[in-house]
Structure 1
Amino acid sequence: MEATTTPGTLYLVPAPLDFGCDDSTDLQASLPLGTLQTAASLRHWVCENAKSARAYLKRIHEITPLCCSIQDMQLVELPREVHKKGDHHGNFDARGLLQPALDGYAMGLISEAGMPAVADPGSSVVRAAHDLGIRVAPLVGPVSLLLALAASGLNGQSFAFVGYLPQDPSERATRIRELEALALRSGQTQLFIETPYRNQAMLQSLLQTLQHNTRLAIGSGLTLPRAQLVSDSIKGWKKKTSPLNNSTPAVFVIGR
């Protein structure tokens, strides 16, 4: 009889929302010790960015010792096209990245911030793990979308995340109107995200396009000392001096 190897587990390891690289923040303020200990036990990784992954692992080591030196760890980056086009369409075959798990080793999947495969690359790796019979275990940590939704005061019983909106101002305004109409008609809260350097342009487009009574919440840097979360009607927003942080990604939430 041939010897068999039980596949190792693929752990989905959340990263702090400071992109893992801000030594001034306390990891244990947003990540439980159990998550950090599991991460410290892994030497095989699939990551979005090896440099930020190493910086994060270095910070973990200050709390709980790593199983080996960072130099001895195997970190494999997802291909660039996965970052640019996303891997949720099923076009990228990630099975080749999971050979250590098939050989019986536990593995970690990590993105630059938050939970991998949620508004970040990684779903192709998770899908491949399921197809290969590899156990998938998500660990506890910050997920900016749910944090922003919970703190928005908007409907958390029915909601949708729609990713990024178009960059072209005209197309973006059209998409905003579509999402607002859906939110007002159905009560379904709509969430989307934006990169830091386009935060202000997104806010201005929302203020110019949405109706006065539509609710808008914006969250950035949640769980961090510089966290911001403001929720108000568009009429109320127009009276504010914009508190929007242009140094971190933002989650935008609209509804009634």
Structure 2
Amino acid sequence: MEVALYLIPVTLGDTPIESVLPQYNKQIIVQIKHFIVEDIRSARRFLKKVDREIDIDTLTFYPLNKYTSPEEISGYLKPLTQGMPMGVISEAGCPAVADPGADVVAIAQKKNLKVVPLVGPSSIILSVMASGFNGQSFAFHGYIPIEPAERIKTLKHLEQRIYSENQTQLFIETPYRNNKMAEDILNNCRPQTKLCIAANITCEGEYIKTKTVKEWKGKLPDLTKIPCIFLLYK
């Protein structure tokens, strides 16, 4: 096995692993003993789903979140510098994409350590694929402001970019505020602007629909507590 920092995708929800992750990932994962993870408990559960025979107690986990200092992260890579492969596991989807994993990858690159991304589900890419929007030029903005005036200003700015740059705009919201986000879009964007709502991607109850703002009015689904991405285009 090649010594590298392996970026290990995780299912986006309670989806059977074999339906979204290649067998090759398992072959890599079972050989790794050191994991940098966003949440230790969920990482342990994921590894058991990958292979029930994995002895979790023989593994070492290094927590990586917004509170982890660059010095700590750099120290996490010591096993890799000593010739042992390491893995990075996020809460869901692909590590280092809208995820604190990017910090450890940046340090690995700076140290000239090999980084290998494994294939797996990305809600960002999958939502663009299914939206019918411009897949040649798109921008993901993560969470947009909560404060009403700033949120409206941001929505209008993103909508303007659709028309001026011919660019698809993507963003997310905390799941319990999804319904409010959808309403804010309908109340502040042009009637002809297209909105794609992509929810529960790859999971049971997957919902991906594209309509104009005008067509969505009065027909929004209940998005409470559902992982969701919103996409805007012309």
- The normalised TM-score by structure 2 is 0.94
SS at match of 1:75: strand
* Structure 1 residue 56: Cα displacement: 0.4
**Residues 1:109 and 2:88 are matched in the alignment:** yes
- Matched with 2:118 is 139
1:79 and 1:14 map into 2 onto residues whose CA distance is 17
**Residues 1:40 and 2:30 are matched in the alignment:** yes
Which whole-Å deviations, capped at 9, do the CAs of 1:197-227 have from their partners, x for residues lacking one?
Answer: 1111111110100100000001121111221
TM alignment of 1:151-230, pairs within 5 A: 151-230=130-209
Which whole-Å deviations, capped at 9, do the CAs of 1:21-75 have from their partners, x for residues lacking one?
Answer: x3xx31111111111221222110000000100010111114xx43xx1011001
* Structure 1 residue 239: Cα displacement: 3.9
- Identify if the C-alpha distance between structure 1 residues 229 and 243 changes in structure 2 by more than 3 Å, giving closer, same or farther: same
SS at match of 1:28: helix
2:39 pairs with one of 39, 43, 49: 49
- Matched with 2:16 is 26
Q: Structure 1: any 5+ residue segments left out of the alignment?
A: 1-6, 83-90
User: How many pairs were matched up?
Assistant: 232
Q: Percent identity?
A: 39
- Matched with 2:225 is 247
* Structure 1 residue 246: Cα displacement: 2.0
Aligned partner letter, 2:62: V
1:100 pairs with one of 79, 82, 102: 79
- Matched with 1:74 is 60
Question: Are 1:16 and 1:114, in contact at CA under 8 Å, matched by a contact in 2?
Answer: yes
**Residues 1:16 and 2:11 are matched in the alignment:** yes
* Structure 1 residue 80: Cα displacement: 4.3
- Matched with 1:124 is 103
1:105 and 1:248 map into 2 onto residues whose CA distance is 38
SS at match of 1:81: coil
Which whole-Å deviations, capped at 9, do the CAs of 1:125-177 have from their partners, x for residues lacking one?
Answer: 00111111210000000000000011001111111111110011221011000
Larger displacement relative to structure 2 (8-17 or 217-226): 217-226
SS at match of 2:142: strand
- The normalised TM-score by structure 1 is 0.87
2:3 and 2:211 map into 1 onto residues whose CA distance is 47
Aligned partner letter, 1:246: T
SS at match of 2:77: helix
Question: Are 1:219 and 1:228, in contact at CA under 8 Å, matched by a contact in 2?
Answer: yes
Q: Structure 2: any 5+ residue segments left out of the alignment?
A: none
